[in-house]
Amino acid sequence: MSEYWAREWAGEPFRLFGTSHLVLLLTVAVLTATVTLLGPRVPAPTRLLIRRAAAVVLVLNTAVWHLWNVAVGLWTLDTMLPLHLCSVMSLVAAVALWTGHPWLATATWLLGSPGALQALLTPEVAPYGFPHYRVLQSWSQHSLLWLAGFWLVFAEGIRPTFRRTVQVWLALHALAAGVFVVNLAVGSNYLFLNRKPEFASVLDLLPPWPTYLLVLEGLVVFLLLAFWLIGRAPAGRRQPSVEDALVSR
């Protein structure tokens, strides 16, 4: 089993939209439909249990990921600080799932789910392949982050308001400003603000840096508005919970 945890991987590398990747995407699609359609019917105590279990998994998965990088000598200041969007949103999602806080739930839906979708479509796992730990960790973390938004919005009924959407947009830019300074200080590229990622991603379709930042801004606004509208769509009748008073604020 040691080869599945090792720094070096001798097996077949990950193939974009290969068999294992397509199986993952199909599995996530089925889980998304299940959460959206059946989640509202789950009794409140069970929903709370599911939410908090998912929060614990997100945190533990993150902690083990950092420990693995330390153990194999891959942890560096310019790559492993929790400043990429999915790293930040994994922590936000964990708190949102645990507490049911409406604003954090909205941020998880508007930023965490779209960010996770990009990572699921173009995973940054090379040169590893399934079933290496690196691949399983990335897939499980981003799948759970993607589903967390759907659970909070459709199962828990925490619908995004336009006001919160604007606030999330402002918070994202405040985060980006701070991260840009960190990038200049340590030579990193968190949030991909200083250059495009070295691995294949949807950002490859955009113009060169820094022009692509302007296009990226338009894409961010589009996704925020799209997910805001999707989050307002009708859902199945939800079982009431004692947290409804908090959620309605």
CB atoms within 10 A of CB 142: 25
How deeply is 131 buried, as exposed, middle or buried, from its count of CB atoms within 10 A (0-12, 13-18, 19+)? exposed
| CA separation for the pair 197, 194 (Å, rounded) | 9
Angle at 224 between CA 106 and CA 189, to 5 degrees: 95
How deeply is 10 buried, as exposed, middle or buried, from its count of CB atoms within 10 A (0-12, 13-18, 19+)? exposed
Q: What is the extent of the structural domain holding 153?
A: 2-247
Query: Which positions ≥6 away from 241 have C-beta within 8 Å?
Result: 44, 47, 48, 156
Portion of the chain with pLDDT greater than 90, in percent: 78
For residue range 72-116, what is the model confidence (pLDDT) as tens digits? 999 999 999 999 999 999 999 999 999 999 999 999 999 999 999
Show the tokens assigned to 12.
């077949």
pTM, 2 dp: 0.90
Question: What is the count of structural domains for the chain?
Answer: 1
Q: What is the mean pLDDT of residues 52-75?
A: 97
* Contact between 54 and 144 (Cβ < 8 Å): yes
Residue 203 confidence (pLDDT): 72
| CA separation for the pair 248, 243 (Å, rounded) | 9
Q: How confident is the model at residue 202 (pLDDT cuts 50, 70, 90)?
A: low
